[in-house]
Amino acid sequence: MDLRQHGDEPLSLEAQRDGRIARRERNRAAILAALGDILGSGNLEPTAEQVAARAGVQVRTLFRHFPDMASLHAELAGRIRAEVVPQLAAVPTTGDAAERVRRLVAARAIAFERILPFKRAGNAMRWRLGFLQKHHETMVSDLRRHLLLVLPELREHDGAALAAFELATSFEAWDRLRAEQHLKPERAREAMEFAALAVLAALPRGTRGAARTRSER
């Protein structure tokens, strides 16, 4: 095909190549956006046909970019993770413990709300897709490390204190508040903050304070 522009001048090979690259990038972005939109609408396991139709591309185009649906989900999960991690990293690790808890909950509320449809989809499929199970385990481990970074005092307590904080500020708690208890995001944040502060208040004073260690029992 003789591609021409501006006075029937043929496009250079470089311009044609740049056009193809730009089109591929647009298609890839449209496919990822389409998957995100469909998951956000509540369809947790869309087909390739549904995603391609939403993106405005052919199914074969989708599979030129992604060898299978699992790799498509994996790339979207990676992009969402890269978006929310900086929000969590901004939580202060020094200062008043109650304020740190409030900031932790506020950051997690934003992050959990952002990933909500994608994590629900991942949970629905992770039992048969190993990489999603690995992503889940990594997320749980990362959130625990982050909690101990923000509240290092918990290292001085027995396992029950850490477990209670993990539960109160977990994605699963957020999902229940939003889906089962039908709370709006701000009300869900308030409920999560209340629970986390209640756990903090239940700890003995001092270091805010050290519950008996196993060695002291």
Compute CA distances 200 → 39, 72, 195, whole Å.
Answer: 36, 40, 9
Separation of alpha carbons 139 and 86, rounded Å = 14
Q: 69-216: what CATH class?
A: mainly alpha
Tell me what pLDDT residue 186 has.
98
Separation of alpha carbons 106 and 193, rounded Å = 8
The residues of the chain that CATH labels 1.10.10 are 1-66
- Token pair of 156, please? 């001085």
Report the chain's mean pLDDT, rounded to a whole number: 85
pLDDT digits (tens, 9 = 90+) for 103-144: 999 999 999 999 998 888 888 888 777 777 888 888 899 999
pLDDT digits (tens, 9 = 90+) for 191-209: 999 999 999 999 876 544 4
Average pLDDT of the segment spanning 8-12: 61
CA atoms within 13 A on the CB side of 195: 18
Q: In residues, how long is the chain?
A: 217
The residues of the chain that CATH labels 1.10.357 are 69-216
Q: What is the 3-state secondary structure (H, E, C) of 139-203?
A: HHHHHHHHHHHHCHHHHHCCHHHHHHHHHHCCHHHHHHHHHHCCCCHHHHHHHHHHHHHHHHHHC
In the DSSP assignment, the letter for residue 43 is -
From 212, 200, 217, select the one nearest 102 (Cα to Cα): 200
* Percent of the chain clearing pLDDT 70 (strictly above): 85
CATH number assigned to the domain with residue range 1-66, chosen from the 4 options 2.60.40, 2.40.50, 1.10.10, 1.10.3470 = 1.10.10
